[in-house]
Amino acid sequence: MSGFGTTDITERDILSYVALGDSFTEGMSDPYPDSDSVPNGRFRGWADRVAEHLACRIDEVRYANLAVRGKLIRQIRDEQVAEAVAMAPDLVTLCAGGNDILRPGGDPDEVVGIFESIVAELTATGARVVIFTGFDTGMHSVMRHLRGKIATYNMHMRAVADRYGCDVVDVWSMRIFDDERSWSWDRLHLSPEGHRRLALRVCEVLGTPAEGNWNEPWPEPEPRGWRTARQEDLYWAREFLVPWIGRRLTGRSSGDNVRPKRPTLQRCEPQYRTD
């Protein structure tokens, strides 16, 4: 069980927080203001934003982010978990398995078995562990067929959370992500606004006060013609879908030769706006 229980984490003077996962947690498509380029610039993302929110409430937040884009769940287990355990964190966020489920033949039952082994190791340290359900892909035409697999995985994950006393961020039920403005141009990673809203939702689950409302209704979208929409589809297929298929066929990953952006616990300062 979690060492925190229902304790308000903002009552602590010092908090250590480690984020584990893949591109979702690395913060893809949410560059920092000082990033020079994408994808090689520094990404912010919801996890950095959560650390910044916590730093507004706690005297000292020590934060590490070991997530790397493209990682499968076995790689997360083998490359990130032992390092996280060695840091003896108070708080861990874990999102893993999405890349496995997206791939043909990805078996939710097999993936969740590995996921549970990770959760067991993390919770044994006494850390408070937060996990995430998968997104509802019903609004994404090219991924709509994955809804059943994702829903199955989500149910397994909830059972794991119950067994080990984890907090759950139910991303599936967050209908704000039905709006395409939540997503970046690649239609797979969150936009900066999507990351901002998710960070607020994570803070809500943690019981941490944060300025803003993650569920605020979107403003009316600007009209977009049929021709513009088709041009965007063609651009997406050329710039994202074709390279993605190429990597699958050649056994390459977007995370090859990419190192974690915050491999050790470092003091986090609320230097950027979190709202």
Question: For the chain, what is the mean pLDDT?
Answer: 86
User: What is the full DSSP assignment across 68-116?
Assistant: -TT--HHHHIIIIIHHHHHT--SEEEEE--HHHHHSTT--HHHHHHHHH
Asked if the model's pLDDT at residue 102 lies above 90, the reply is: no
Label residue 37 by pLDDT band (50, 70, 90).
Answer: very low
DSSP 9: G
**195-218 pLDDT tens trace:** 999 999 999 999 999 999 999 999
Does residue 133 or residue 12 have the better pLDDT? 133
pLDDT for position 7: 57
pTM for this structure?
A: 0.86
Give dist(CA 174, CA 160) in Å, integer. 21
Q: Which residues contact 241 (CB under 8 A, 6 or more apart)?
A: 142
pLDDT for position 228: 62
Tokens representing residue 71 in the block = 């990682």
Please report, for the domain that includes residue 193, its CATH number.
Answer: 3.40.50.1110
Give dist(CA 271, CA 49) in Å, integer. 10
Asked if the model's pLDDT at residue 33 lies above 90, the reply is: no
Output the CA angle 28-168-73, nearest 5 degrees: 50
Label residue 6 by pLDDT band (50, 70, 90).
Answer: very low
Label residue 86 by pLDDT band (50, 70, 90).
Answer: very high
**42-70 pLDDT tens trace:** 799 999 999 999 999 999 999 999 999 99
**153-187 pLDDT tens trace:** 999 999 999 999 999 999 999 999 999 899 887 76
Confirm whether 220 is domain-assigned: no
Does residue 40 or residue 234 have the better pLDDT? 234
Confirm whether 255 is domain-assigned: yes
Confirm whether 275 is domain-assigned: no
Confirm whether 119 is domain-assigned: yes
Output the CA angle 52-82-267, nearest 5 degrees: 25
Kindly report whether the peptide bond that precedes residue 39 is cis, defined as omega within 30 degrees of 0.
Answer: yes
pLDDT for position 158: 97
Confirm whether 2 is domain-assigned: no
Asked if the model's pLDDT at residue 3 lies above 50, the reply is: no
Confirm whether 115 is domain-assigned: yes
Domain count, the chain: 1
Asked if the model's pLDDT at residue 76 lies above 50, the reply is: yes
Q: Which range marks the domain in which residue 46 is found?
A: 9-215+225-267
Query: What proportion of the chain, given as a percentage, has pLDDT over 90?
Result: 65
Q: Order the strands of the 128-132 sheet from edge to edge.
A: 167-169, 128-132, 91-95, 14-21, 60-65, 262-267
Q: Which of 9-18, 90-99, 116-125, 228-237 has the lowest mean pLDDT?
A: 228-237
Give dist(CA 191, CA 178) in Å, integer. 13
Asked if the model's pLDDT at residue 31 lies above 80, the reply is: yes
Give dist(CA 217, CA 82) in Å, integer. 41
Confirm whether 242 is domain-assigned: yes
Asked if the model's pLDDT at residue 140 lies above 80, the reply is: no
Confirm whether 274 is domain-assigned: no
Which residue in the block uniquely carries the two structure tokens 């287990």?
77
Does residue 45 or residue 228 have the better pLDDT? 45
**238-266 pLDDT tens trace:** 565 556 555 555 665 565 578 999 999 99
